[in-house]
Every structure is written in structure tokens, then in C-alpha cells.
């Protein structure tokens, strides 16, 4: 067995773990970071950027939002079912964290909203290819990784941590296994666990949420998010607390059918497997609201029904719902995307000449679906949605003339899981009596319990923002703990 000694042992090298490593180095502490993948970054490699509140970037573009405004928004959104001290500490720190990243060399494209009703809190990293979209945050991860190394962090890739070392109720290190199969015992004065949740652990997803991974639940497939850190912390006596998912919606295998998916995120006609509407489709810009609504439907999925006239309308006039991730150019690429999808044998896209034919393909009672469509079109004719009060601007008839009907099946999804252990604003992991476990800290999605029952999409960039800021918060608290 290889024996190592350090001030801080860090379990996983996503944005939270890297932030903790950098902060430790800034405070003169040594650290060793163990990452089971062959690269650092975790889910952030697929992301776009962190939240920032009251930043200079926002003020320069007249998009400023105060900590007080964001705090009030968030606490009301969560019905005060979250730790207000933790939320306020994170929000207050977030502007400084954006500058902290800039000082390292991270460049931001600006501060953005995700959709109309959200605040411009999303500080999207300047993308290397010049196109804002998924994976924009890659340069930030590379810069953070290099900064951690520059400050003395030793990074071991393909080296998963297997357990925490607990002595007399105190966390004093970790046991890991390197890529050659050699065991490592790393003794440390403090340990930070930041393994990113359990979004790809089929058994834990089923046990915690009753969802069947890759059957009725299609999250982003972030390798390595299998709950290792949470299981270690629970075994060490951490309180099991606040596990949830960042509920959204998308087509199955979303990234392979991205442009087609983008076309159907408009306020057309949403129905469930029974063929009836269930929500105001004008809310589809808020993917959390829509995901929550779809989660209540039979089978936990829904169909969005449009026709080619509507696609042509959006191609000519622009979409009803804009968001920063899904390009409006998708409508010009619809036919190409549809043909590619059909050729692939994909089973969640449908075309039909009549509504009865579409109902048969969807497995819906044709009489019910026809009645739903007729009633919907009648509401469009009088410009009044008496069922769910959709914005009249969005009431566009769906007739199927000149090209027939088109539809996709949307499933519930998530960026990943959040929560599982409770921490305070210092990142200290709490036991069942809400007392800190000495030497044990957590950051990022493993301890992100600030959303209550639903991800707050109105303050976008929240999960990556919490990861980076909670990593810094834990690192600073560890410096006080060790140097105390």
C-alpha cells in the first residue's frame, strides 16, 4: 500500500473539487485530488457557466440584480424550505467568485438569461468556437486545473477513492485505488467530498425517486456520477438529507437529436398518453416547470404535437419562446433533422397525415385525441384558452394541412442529482444531530440542498455556481480549521 500525507484530500475533480484545491493552495495548504475519470471537470465539461449576482459584468450590461433581490426570489421560490444562511453566503460570494475566475484567465461571454422570465445570472464562459452552447465551460475547467497544479495540488486521475478513514469520529483521510490497482492510503487533516451526485446509478435512482434510468428517466449521461461520495459520507455518519433531481424535460438521447428537440420546445399542443392537455404550454421555456408537469403524467412522458405550417411560421417569424441554448435556426433545419432521425430508426418522433393516424402511432384513443385537437383549435379561433389560460399570443391552430401532423415524445430528465448530505455555510458535513463531523467537508452537487423540491431555473447557472462557490467556501473553512 502506498501511503501519502497532505493537508487536504479532495475526492473528485469537478468544479467544486478544483475550487477547493485552489482555495487550499491560496491559503498555503497542500492538497491531493483523486479523480476516478481520466480527466477533470465532471459534469461541468458539458455545462456553460456559473451563476453570478451583482457582478461587474451584469452592471456593465445593465442586467444587474442585487443579492437582496436574488435572495428574496430564491427563498420565496423554495418556500423557505432551504438553509437561508447557506443561500445568502453563496449568493453574496458569487460576484467575487466571478472575478476570482477572471483573475485566473477565465473569460466570460457575458451574463445571460436562459429564458424570458429568468434573471441574467448565467455567466457563460466565452466558448472557444465562438458559439454559445453546451460544453462552453470547458476552458474554465482547464484553467482551474492548471491553477490548482500551479498552487501545488497533486492530481491523480483514474484513481477512485474507495472509502473515508474515520478515527474517533473524525475524518483523517481516504483510501483510494490507482490505475495500476495499487492501494493508496492518504492521510489528511481534512477531506472534501465533491463527487457530483448519483445521476447515473440506476439502483440509487430507483430507490430514491422511483424512476427507471434510461427507461422513463433520461438525464445527461455524466460518467462517474454513481454516488460514491454520498455512500462514503453516509457510512461515516452524515445525515441523509435533501436528495433530489434537477428536473427538466427532453427527448430521449437528446444530444443526438438536438435540432429536432429544439423545434418542439414551443407552446404548441402538449398531451399525455390519454390524449388530453395537462398544462399551459406557454411555460415550456421553464424546463423545470414543464418537467414537473410531465412527471405527473401516465408513464412520466408527454407528446408535443405540431404541424409543418407551424414549423414554417417559426422559420419565417422566429419562435414564440426563445432560449439561449436552443437556436432559432433549428426551424430552418427541421426537414433535414427529421429525415436523419427517421433514418436512424428513432422511436420518439412521429409523422402522420391525419390526427387519427397520429393517434394510432402514439397509442392514444383517436376519438379523445381528435376531440382534444378540435377543442384546442376552437380556443385558438376565439383567442382564449379557457382550460389553462395560455398567453393568447401563443394560440396558433394546428390543422395538419399541407404536410400533416408531427410530434415528439418528451421524457422527464435532469442535469443530475443534487443533495444527499447536509452541510452548513462552511461546507462542514453534518450528522443526524446537525453537528459537524470533524475533518469532513463537502461541496457541489453532493450537498446542494438549496432548491427545495424544484430547481430554480429563474436564477440560471445555479448548480455550477453552487459548485464553484461551495468549493471555495469549504476551502476557506478548512484553512481556518487547520490553521485555527
pLDDT in tens, 377-401: 999 999 999 999 999 999 999 999 9
What pTM was computed for the model?
A: 0.95
Instruction: Read off the pLDDT of each residue in 158-173 and give the average, rounded to a whole number.
Output: 98
For residue 8, pLDDT over 90 is answered with yes
For residue 131, pLDDT over 90 is answered with no
pLDDT in tens, 306-316: 999 999 999 99
Contacts of 187 (CB under 8 A, 6+ apart): 3, 4, 5, 6, 165, 172, 173
SS3 content of the chain, % helix, strand, coil (to 5): 40, 25, 40
Residue 109 confidence class, pLDDT cut points 50, 70, 90: very high
Rounded Cα distance between 414 and 247, Å, is 5
Grid coordinates standing for 353? 397525415
Mean pLDDT of the chain: 96
pLDDT in tens, 12-60: 999 999 999 999 999 999 999 999 999 999 999 989 999 999 999 999 9
Looking at residue 130, its pLDDT comes to: 85
For residue 484, pLDDT over 80 is answered with no
Question: What angle do the packed helices 15-26 and 462-483 form, to 10 degrees?
Answer: 30
The H-assigned helical ranges of 80-154 are 84-104, 138-150
Instruction: Read off the pLDDT of each residue in 74-78 and give the average, rounded to a whole number.
Output: 97
Amino acid at each position: 500500500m502506498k501511503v501519502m500525507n497532505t493537508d487536504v484530500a479532495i475526492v473528485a475533480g469537478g468544479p467544486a473539487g478544483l475550487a477547493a484545491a485552489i482555495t487550499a493552495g491560496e491559503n498555503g495548504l497542500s492538497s491531493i485530488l483523486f479523480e476516478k475519470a481520466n480527466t477533470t471537470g465532471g459534469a461541468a465539461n458539458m455545462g456553460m457557466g456559473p451563476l453570478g449576482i451583482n457582478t461587474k459584468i451584469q452592471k456593465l450590461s445593465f442586467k444587474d440584480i442585487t443579492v437582496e433581490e436574488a435572495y428574496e426570489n430564491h427563498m420565496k421560490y423554495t418556500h423557505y424550505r432551504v438553509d437561508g444562511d447557506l443561500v445568502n453566503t453563496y449568493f453574496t460570494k458569487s460576484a467575487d467568485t466571478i472575478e476570482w475566475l477572471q483573475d485566473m484567465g477565465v473569460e466570460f461571454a457575458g451574463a445571460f438569461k436562459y429564458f424570458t422570465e429568468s434573471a441574467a445570472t448565467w455567466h457563460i464562459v466565452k466558448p472557444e468556437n465562438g458559439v454559445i452552447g453546451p460544453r462552453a465551460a470547458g476552458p474554465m475547467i482547464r484553467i482551474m486545473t492548471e491553477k490548482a497544479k500551479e498552487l501545488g495540488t497533486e492530481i491523480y486521475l483514474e484513481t477512485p477513492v474507495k472509502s473515508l478513514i474515520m478515527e474517533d469520529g473524525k475524518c483523517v483521510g481516504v483510501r483510494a485505488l490507482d490505475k495500476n490497482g495499487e492501494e493508496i492510503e492518504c492521510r489528511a487533516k481534512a477531506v472534501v467530498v465533491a463527487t457530483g451526485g448519483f445521476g447515473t446509478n440506476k439502483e440509487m435512482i430507483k430507490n430514491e425517486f422511483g424512476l427507471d434510468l434510461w427507461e422513463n428517466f433520461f438525464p445527461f449521461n455524466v460518467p462517474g456520477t454513481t454516488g460514491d461520495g454520498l455512500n462514503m459520507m453516509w457510512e461515516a455518519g452524515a445525515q441523509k438529507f435533501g436528495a433530489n433531481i434537477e428536473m427538466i424535460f427532453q427527448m430521449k438521447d437528446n444530444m443526438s437529436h438536438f435540432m429536432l428537440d429544439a423545434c418542439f420546445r414551443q407552446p404548441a399542443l402538449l398531451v399525455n398518453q390519454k390524449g388530453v392537455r395537462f398544462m399551459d404550454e406557454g411555460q415550456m421555456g421553464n424546463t423545470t416547470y414543464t418537467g414537473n408537469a410531465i412527471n405527473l403524467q401516465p408513464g412520466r412522458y408527454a407528446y408535443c404535437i405540431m404541424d409543418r405550417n407551424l414549423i414554417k411560421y417559426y422559420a419565417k417569424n422566429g419562435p414564440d419562446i426563445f432560449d439561449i441554448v436552443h437556436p432559432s435556426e433549428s426551424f430552418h433545419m427541421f426537414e433535414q433533422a427529421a429525415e436523419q432521425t427517421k433514418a436512424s430508426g428513432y422511436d420518439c418522433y412521429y409523422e402522420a397525415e391525419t390526427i387519427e393516424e397520429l393517434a394510432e402511432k402514439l397509442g392514444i384513443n383517436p376519438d379523445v385525441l381528435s376531440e382534444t385537437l378540435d377543442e384546442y383549435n376552437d380556443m385558438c379561433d376565439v383567442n382564449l384558452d379557457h382550460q389553462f389560460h395560455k398567453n393568447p399570443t401563443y394560440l396558433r391552430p394546428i390543422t395538419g394541412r399541407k404536410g400533416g401532423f408531427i410530434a415528439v415524445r418528451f421524457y422527464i430528465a435532469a442535469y443530475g442529482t443534487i443533495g444527499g448530505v447536509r452541510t452548513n455555510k462552511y461546507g462542514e458535513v453534518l450528522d443526524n444531530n446537525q453537528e459537524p463531523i470533524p475533518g469532513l467537508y463537502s461541496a457541489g452537487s453532493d450537498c446542494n440542498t438549496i432548491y427545495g423540491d424544484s430547481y430554480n431555473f429563474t436564477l440560471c447557472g445555479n448548480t455550477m455556481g453552487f459548485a464553484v462557490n461551495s468549493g471555495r467556501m469549504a476551502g476557506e473553512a478548512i484553512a481556518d480549521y487547520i490553521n485555527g
